[in-house]
Amino acid sequence: MRTRCHSLLLLVLAASLLAASLEAQTATVIPDTEASRHVGQKATVEGVVVTVFTSNNGNTFINFGGKYPHQTFTGWIPKDSAPAIKQI
């Protein structure tokens, strides 16, 4: 009985992980020019990176589509986030 419960729990856990993985793979992908129409939604923004700037306080800004102030989208990486730490 105990083995059966453990097997069922393992099966449920595996199914949950698979579902989460499939959801992550089917994320909405939008061009940088349409990002403003998707505020509040989770999406992957794709476009041409024109400039990358790291400020004096360590925050990194990634401008798409044009140089500031004519960019179509700006990505922000806070100085304490994992991608920012890996750059150093």
Rounded-to-integer distance, Cα 19 and Cα 38, Å: 24
CA dihedral angle for residue 29, residue 34, residue 37, residue 43, rounded to 10 degrees: 20
Model-level pTM greater than 0.75? no
Rounded-to-integer distance, Cα 65 and Cα 33, Å: 8
pLDDT at position 20 is 58
pLDDT at position 81 is 84
Give, for all 88 residues of the chain, the pLDDT tens digit.
555 544 545 544 455 555 555 555 567 899 999 999 999 998 999 999 999 999 999 999 999 999 999 999 999 999 888 765 665 5
Q: Are 11 and 26 in contact (CB under 8 A)?
A: no
Burial grade of 66 (CB within 10 A; 0-12, 13-18, 19 or more) = middle
